[in-house]
Structure 1
Amino acid sequence: MAMKRFWLAAGIVAVALGITAFFQNTALLAPAATERPVLLAHRGLAQTYPSSGVTDATCTASRINPPEHPYLENTLASMEAAFAAGADIVEFDVHPTTDGQFAVIHDWTLDCRTNGTGVTREKTLAELKALDIGHGYTADGGKTYPFRGKGVALMPSLDEVLARFPDRRLLINVKSNDPREGEALADRLLKLPPAQLSLLMAYGGDRPITVLRARIPTLLTMSKEAEKRCLIHHLALGWAGLTPEACERQLLLIPSNYTSWIWGWPARFTARMRAAGSEVIVAGPLVGGDGSAGIDRAEDLTALARPIPGIWTNRIDRIAPLVQVERR
């Protein structure tokens, strides 16, 4: 008899928890979406390449798709083009220089896409700015180099980006796990007016990002470790409609093939994260060790569950017009 009462009580609890999880996370009770997704342009408007088989050692400039526009990643012109196309946020990469500046370039070494050699952060800003950043781009295995000679002096500094876009949202990618880089970047960003600082976000290695969060508590940040903590805690608590502390003030870049594991996706989860001061952006699927691609094609956009909180794209010129049409 006692065992029957135990199982009856357990069944009642299970049903109650299931009802709670349903009402806290069902899209049926979510508010209707009234705004378009936030659009994040990865490296501005850049040359794209097939993402399959790409590793940290792959020279992506040597395998670009046939060019459809004249812009090179991480340049002022590419950022301006991305904003003009409809981007709300532009992402770019930074490396420290030997003379205490930050250069805007993705690669750890110069040999892939420039006419220079060696480690990027072992150069002065002047040495880096003298390089041709279009030197290594080819779409036909080296038969032609359509941007060679066109990228001389186009590598900007962080200061130049901040000066050119004082009223725009920017995402800074710290390309190391060195906490000293977080200190140096915090020193620079804390010199900005509060209104401009409020528009910035940063992501990268856990150690420099931890420093940035401590130095600039209002800054939205992301690292792989921080996002993992947030999503694991949310998996444990989100069924009850609770937002873990680990999810506060985070930039969450969610691969599109992971969204089915998130309680309340998309509308309820997005609302909770925004209430916690966080931004939710959907990237392309994470497959194996190749990393997560962007939402770059019409079919990628069509496959996403609505409402879409934000979109990470390498082709803002393609995606922004489709989003605008959707919202009409």
Structure 2
Amino acid sequence: MVIFSRPQPGTLPTTLKLLVAIMIPSVIVSVLGGASASMGFGLAMGLGMAVTPVSKPRQAALLVIVGAALGGLASLAGSTPWAIAVLMFVSAILSAATNQRSAGLLSLTPVMVILFGPGPINLPWWSAVLWILAGGLAGALITRLLKFQAPTLPVEKRTALEHGIAVGLLCAAIMYWALANSIPHGYWVAVTVLMALRPLANQRRETLNGRLIGTLLGAIIALLAVLFLPVWGAVIVAVLCLFFMVWYSMGGAYLMQALALTPMLLIFASLGDIDRGFELTFERVIFTVIGIAAAVLVALLLRRWESRREDLSA
């Protein structure tokens, strides 16, 4: 596996356009509704951009509505362990159902349950629903304006269902454990599993390795920035990381995306507070390692099930 790679050639102009298209409405929403609204809106834009290229308009609208419903329910559930666990499993099963159309269509919805529930997005349920709908619409419009296209990657029905059940049960258990025991940022374990354990078997090795290595290297960058740079310097590093994350997302280099995402999040969350920087970096690394270990075990289980099916059909 190549650790460092270059962005896909020819994607820089589109990256700049996409950043402008994302930042302008996000800033407006931040002014109107605050930081939580902006985060929720931005996450929903990602959902809109994920579903639009491979869906008809009505299908895309329905998927965004599903995301809004889950986000609203998560806001109602808050940090209630059993409620979030149920929503995690439901969102994983819904994601499995849509993976049969194309892998990853609703992969953001379990993450939305986490962030709108016990995570940092603190909104009333009705506000969460409205901002998700608005963000999904904005994401769809951006996709149409920039003429983004993506191939459909259908997942075989049995494979999609097995993946959804396994991931749903694991993440539901993780979230119940984290919330019942008041583990700070324990939801990072579940986020790691959701992002790294892909439904398509041929993608799992790259995403698991990429998530682990990218997070470890990104945590080092974040810690160095918080320790040795003034606040304005750390902000510049975080903004550059945002730029590179979007740029690399054009070419699917997951390790580089994780490498850019990690310091961006950690720096913005700990600006001017060295102790908090240490704390968040430590938690991010530990919970990522735990999440990767859990994801690897589930990946081995899924591989065993797939091998058995192949043997039976041979």
TM-score, normalised to structure 2, is 0.28
Of Structure 1 and Structure 2, the greater strand share is in 1
Q: Which has the larger radius of gyration?
A: 1
Q: Which has the higher helix share?
A: 2
